[in-house]
Structure 1
């Protein structure tokens, strides 16, 4: 990993943003490609999806809409220990998601004047579950359970066809869909899948959705940007990121292990350590040299750690460490610092914050009860991770009786005249006769 030394420099917010490690060229290229792939699906439908499956997944002739028999077969063949773990994860995420659904509220402005606040679920959601270099049954849970908790009645799931499974969706992903009662599943992947969910494919019986969610690579994340405005999307959950903020109290072996745990996702994964301790930085480098070569996906990890998106960043003090992290806005933030719980209040920009040495990102990936579909690329500075609220629309329902309207009629007329919109006032006067 390269080292970025920011010690002895007082950086402005814009300079901090320039200093954070990013693979910006890869993201720009992904957006151009995603735009082309989505446009092809919107124009050519199933033909484009089959062409993209041949090009990117290297499968042909497979069932794009997954038969129920495939889901049933996958569920019946699910390993017992894996099913127990999935059941536990489902229960925990369901509990965590339930806390994200606000109660409706009725505000009485004055007697006879009410504004009710309610949160209405979208009618239909499309969820994407990646299936390239790794398999993510946990992402089925993280997408589907919050949608169900929010009250979404129609959910379509898309995941790439697997070449070594005759073009079927990975059986563990299908099994989790079965566990959650999802029977509308499509063996389609990448940016094209996002386009298919957003715009529909009539020949497959795939109706357009209202919201598209789910993690993926940079092409999937970019495709969400392409369809945004035509459908709702969650934040762009692209190639994974971890930023570890650590001081001299941190355990270098744990820090290194957690950097590797995210780097194994993909060559584009970002693994960043920001620290006030040169000694810790050196110890982490030593630990990485041992751990990274011994892991199963050593080649992938090495590429991620050597990429422009990964670095060890040295800063002068705790305040500089906090400022750097908040400028970066990581998907996953781990705090390996003294008094981490107190420090967490000062780290404001992150998809999710993992506090203390016993709370690794791996916990959040599976069993914490939090959601692992989180914003990447700095979007946590203004966007949140996936939750039940992603599928909810706040609505205000206004109800006044005649007396309550009469009480403010003159003020409405005055403002309408001030804005040169007299018909607004006339609509109120018509009710005063």
Structure 2
């Protein structure tokens, strides 16, 4: 699950929200938009334009990447925060979020956190705690396998892993309440042993500046006490540059809107490390003749409801299954309330689609080229297909391993690379917050075996002291 930013801040392309047909209600109420079944594209017959449209998520990534004006505005905001500190933070909250506070109000108080947790239903608290336990278990298992020592040809080699000193986490709030985002980015940091974890959360719209109670409850469950309310891009700048209230961190992690992503790109120029690639959600399902069309539609629509800049794709090898799934997609989208109905339509009809592949290999070739955030293998033998996966943020095996389960409860990373970044980066896990330190040990016999290579390369590259370090040892034998 990637970012969930404000639709207003994102400046959604109006074409994402166009209607397809209208159906008059029997009771005389205003006409409702009826969503048609998505067309099925035969990949073998598709021209380059159709293929590009699908692989580029309907051009969403291209449009987001061309926001030069946004980048300039964010660069100016980052510079204001760098030079003016807390003053710029409170001004940004007033200008962009309609919240007037003084610098003392930037940090969320312990009492506010306690009250937030107490205000939530018990079942919500229990769900948060179970999700944390699942994510903790996954990351503890990963941490246990992170460091290693071995002997290779008489040379002892290995890696130590150590936690980073500090990290800043960002959790969006524009479209709703997202404690799962905090769980997914913060729990691995806690497991890694990061000494200082700072959290920035924008105030929930329409609350007078209050931070989402569910996010605060998740933070309390994780033992995170350094929490700040801030405008998103300004908060990113504060984490990177430091202010009187918010000390700087070494690394920033979290999904965000295009404005937040622009701020993250800008602060990298100032020397702060940022995890990149977490943009609009995308997913791809691969199916065969054994897949349940109703469940295919359910999981496709599941990811499509995140926003009108999301992308959801179904690639299958059986035309009958795809035809039934397309019909079911229309039914399930039409059953959604607004605005999720429009989000899902745009994500599938405009930015995604349903594709007929000529073979399992072709289906997986499409999936690997798309490099989805979430890849579900809805096939009879998913383990056999797993070997064909090259690029994906996460792989879900079978139709019981659902997108929703991955987003909330399984424990595997759910803050994942989007827009094709799965080809080069991975999801947020304990490894995100660890440094790797190489370790080596040579006994004398192993050293002399390597000595000719050391001397030859040292002389070739013009490092006499390197070569002499061998010669001195030779003279002492």
TM-score under structure 1 normalisation?
0.88
**Partner of residue 74 from structure 2, selected from 22, 37, 47:** 37
Aligned to 1:249: 290
Q: 2:148 matched to 1:105?
A: yes
Count of equivalent residues: 429
1:171-230 Cα deviation digits (max 9, x unpaired): 110111111110111112433333322222x221x2222221122233334443443472
Report the counterpart of residue 5 of structure 1 in structure 2: 41
- 1:138 corresponds to: 180
State which of 313, 316, 322 in structure 2 corresponds to 1:272: 313
Q: How many Å apart are 1:401 and its aligned residue?
A: 7.0
Distance, in Å, in 1 between the alignment partners of 2:465 and 2:201 is: 53
Structure 2 partner of 1:214: 254
Q: Is the partner of 2:419 in helix, strand or coil?
A: coil
Shift of 1:400: 5.3
Matching of residues 146-295 of structure 1 within 5 Å: 146-200=188-242, 202-204=243-245, 206-228=246-268, 230-295=271-336
Structure 1 CA distance for aligned equivalents of residues 131 and 424 of structure 2: 28
What secondary structure is seen at the aligned counterpart in 2 of 1:167?
Answer: coil
Contact 1:224/1:236 (<8 A) preserved: no
Q: Which residue of 1 aligns with 2:116?
A: 74
* Structure 2: gaps (5+ residues): 1-36
SS in 2 for 1:99: helix
> Would the aligned equivalents of 2:282 and 2:373 in 1 still touch at CA under 8 Å?
yes
Residue aligned with 1:203, SS:
coil
Distance 1:172 1:144 in 2: 14
Give the RMSD, CA atoms, in angstroms: 2.9
Unaligned runs of 5+ in 1: none
Alpha-carbon contact 2:38-2:326 (below 8 Å) kept: no
Q: Is 1:387 matched up with 2:404?
A: no
Encode CA deviations 1:372-415: one digit per residue, 9 max, x unaligned: 10000001122211110111111123455788767755543332
In the TM superposition, residue 430 of structure 1 has moved relative to its aligned partner by: 5.5
Distance change in 2, residues 1:35/1:273 (3 Å): farther
**SS of the residue 2:225 aligns to:** coil
TM-score, with structure 2 as normaliser: 0.81
In the TM superposition, residue 150 of structure 1 has moved relative to its aligned partner by 1.1
CA shift in 2, pair 1:21/1:179, >3 Å: same
Greater displacement, 316-325 / 371-380: 316-325
Q: Does 1:338 align with 2:380?
A: yes
How far apart are the structure 2 equivalents of 1:247 and 1:134? 36
- Note if contact 2:333-2:345 (Cα within 8 Å) is conserved in structure 1: no
C-alpha displacement of 1:299:
4.2
1:28 aligns with 2:69: no
Contact map agreement 1:97 1:149 (CA 8 A) in 2: yes
Flag the 1:417–1:241 CA change in 2: closer, same or farther, 3 A.
Answer: same
For 2:427, what is the secondary structure of its paired residue? Answer: coil
Kindly indicate whether the alpha-carbon contact (under 8 Å) linking 1:17 and 1:327 is maintained by their aligned counterparts in 2: no
Distance in 2 (CA, whole Å) between partners of 1:100 and 1:132 is 32
Aligned 8 A contact 2:288 2:378 in 1: yes
Q: Aligned pair 1:375/2:417, yes or no? A: yes
